[in-house]
Amino acid sequence: MFFIPLVALFFACTSSPKDASELDLTDFKQKISYALGADMGTNFTNVPEDIFAQLNKAELENGFYQYLTKENLKSVECREILEAALSNGNGIDTTKHKMSEISHCYGSIFGEMLRNSLVGKDAMDEINPDIARIGFANSLNKTDTLIPIEERQQMIMNFNNDLNNFAGEEFMNKMAKKHKHDVKEEGYILLENAEGTGAPIDLTGEYNIVYTMTNIAGDTIISTLTDPKLSDLENAQVVNADDIVFPEAWKIAAKHMKVGGDYTIHTSHELAYGEEGLRAPNSPNYVIQPFSAVTIYSKVLSQGERHAGVKAKGMEVLEQAKNRPNTKVYPEGFILTTLEEGTGPKVKKGADVQAHYILSNSNGDVIENSFMSSSQNNQPAPSFSLNGVVKGWQLAIPEMKEGGRYKLVLPYDLAYGEQGNQSIQPFETLTFEIQVIKSGEPGTLVQPRQPQQQQQFSEEQMRQLQEQLKEQQ
């Protein structure tokens, strides 16, 4: 008599929840599954509201779930569909594909992203995809109130850290068994793929190096390779051991490496980027996640005095600039080429100036382009005071006329010197293409900075501060 009801009860208890009301958030697997799905759904808060309103929410959810649960789907096809639908910048183009298909593909991107993250850490069994789907749907519909966002973010971060740590340990144990004779006492593993015939690696120098770092799944994180078909020399870059791409394991292993040698290093997070990981410059996003083991492939083609390469390249740029027509070499060291003679007055020393410019380094790489940034931000050309720019500009801009276009080459001592800055390496020779729009007296184009007022304290406030300091001692 009780057999059928008991079986039905058993399956009811073990089947996945159908909606958020059936979730048991005391169960960690259910809670983290919901949190991960909801976190993926929050990506759509960055989609403009007028575009988001057109998307089919059911198909977004279906696409997310399909790519989360199934392997070998045609994600390339979906990316092509999205590119066709979203590339014109004027909303969603449905001339080639239906909105349901576009929405399905849009959701699939985030399902694939989550799946790849979990598979890379061998953690698909750690979550319930059906519950992740509920979290994703709730987040899309802005009804995600089950887990406060701060708690959810911390929970996901801890979950990922634990997965990274465990996966890294498993990876290093596997590599240690496979290469037991190559395990070094510090804990990293060094494989000599090809013996070096040059000098030992000198950590005080700089290297022309072919270098690739991957995660334990084999995905490339950092690489000098631009084209596998090119030679090592064409794929190499010049860096030194202080560069962030070199973790501690590489520096320790350098004592075993020689110029010309081809080496592979496997290292745990302790000798890589530790518990903090590595973030992209000026970004909250990780290049390398905390607790991540990594693999490094490197081949030093040559080494020499630090910064010798950029100095030599800079001298080459300066010599080439001297041979251009309409060019003048100034005693201070800068070189100025007139591309188009200005018809306005000459800029005065110390003036305010409005000008567009394109800045390139000695390799010809464009670092800044004010034409592009002004256009993208719908802003006028930048204005600046000659009293607040690099020395080379202070000297060279007064040699220009309003309305003119010029090419200015600055040796490093007239630019950012031996220190460089965030986007410019030390000893870098810089080339500017400058279009002078107008100039004026100081304060006419650039508002002078107001001196900061020092905070004044009353005698009573000073007495209270002194008492607080005494209590802390």
pLDDT computed for residue 141 by the predictor: 85
Looking at the fold, whether 319 and 198 belong to one and the same domain comes out as no
Percentage of the chain lying above the pLDDT 70 cut: 90
pLDDT, position 46:
79
3-state secondary structure the chain: CCHHHHHHHHHHHHCCCCCHHHCCCCCHHHHHHHHHHHHHHHHHHHCCHHHHCCCCHHHHHHHHHHHHHCCCCCHHHHHHHHHHHHCCCCCCCCCCCCHHHHHHHHHHHHHHHHHHHHHHCCCHHHCCHHHHHHHHHHHHCCCCCCCCHHHHHHHHHHHHHHHHHHHHHHHHHHHHHHCHHHECCCCCEEEEEECCCCCECCCCCEEEEEEEEEECCCCEEEECCCCCCCCHHHHCEEEECCCCCCCHHHHHHHHHCECCCEEEEEECHHHCCCCCCEECCCCCCEEECCCCCEEEEEEEEEEECCCHHHHHHHHHHHHHHHCCCCEEECCCCCEEEEEECCCCCECCCCCEEEEEEEEECCCCCEEEEHHHHHHHHCCCCCEEEHHHCCHHHHHHHHHCECCCEEEEEECHHHCCCCCCCCCCCCCCCEEEEEEEEEEECCCCCCCCCCCCCCCCCCHHHHHHHHHHHHHHC
The residue count of the chain comes to: 473
Q: How confident is the model at residue 440 (pLDDT cuts 50, 70, 90)?
A: very high
Encode pLDDT of 5-46 as tens digits: 444 434 444 567 888 889 999 999 999 999 999 999 998 887
> Do 354 and 283 reside in the same domain of the chain?
no
pLDDT tens digits, 211-260: 999 999 899 999 999 998 999 999 999 899 988 999 999 999 999 999 99
Q: Structurally, how many domains does the chain consist of?
A: 3
pLDDT at 471 over 70: no
216's tokens: 């334990």
- Pairwise CA distance, residues 256 & 196, whole Å: 10
Domain that holds residue 280: 178-305
320 with 433, same domain: the answer is yes
Q: What is the pLDDT of residue 70?
A: 87
Tell me, yes or no, whether 460 lies in a domain.
Answer: no
Q: Which residues pair with 299 in a beta bridge?
A: 210, 262
Asked whether residue 449 is assigned to any structural domain, the reply reads no
Calpha distance 173→386 (Å, rounded): 60
User: Could you report the per-residue pLDDT of 295-312, keeping only the tens digit for each?
Assistant: 999 999 999 998 888 999
Q: Mean of the per-residue pLDDT values for the chain?
A: 89
The span from the first CA to the last CA of the chain, in angstroms, equals 78
- Choosing from 287, 305, 323, the residue where a domain stops is 305
Question: What average pLDDT does range 459-464 have in this prediction?
Answer: 62
Assess whether 271 and 374 both reside in one domain. Answer: no
Final residue belonging to a domain, choices 244, 274, 305: 305
Q: In the prediction, which pLDDT does 280 show?
A: 84
Q: In this predicted structure, what is the pLDDT of residue 1? A: 34
CATH number at residue 414: 3.10.50.40
Are 288 and 319 found together in one domain?
A: no
Same domain, 93 and 77: yes
Average pLDDT over residues 362-391: 93
Residues 278 and 342 in one domain: no
The answer on 140 and 28 residing in a single domain is yes
In angstroms, rounded to a whole number, what is the distance separating the alpha carbons of residues 431 and 329?
A: 14
Q: What percentage of residues in the chain have a pLDDT greater than 90?
A: 68
Q: What is the pLDDT of residue 459?
A: 64
Whether 376 and 277 map to the same domain: the answer is no
Residue that finishes a domain, picked among 262, 281, 305: 305
Q: Give 379's pLDDT tier (boundaries 50, 70, 90).
A: very high
Same domain, residue pair 369 and 395 = yes
| Per-residue pLDDT reduced to its tens digit, 47-74 | 888 888 889 999 999 999 999 998 767 6
Residue 105 has pLDDT above 50, yes or no: yes
Instruction: Check residue 9 and give its pLDDT.
Output: 39
Residue 52 dihedral angles phi and psi, to the nearest 5°: -60, -35
- 359 and 284 in a common domain: no
How much is the average pLDDT of 397-424?
94
Task: Choose the weakest-confidence range: 134-138, 280-284, 358-362.
Answer: 280-284
pTM over 0.85: no
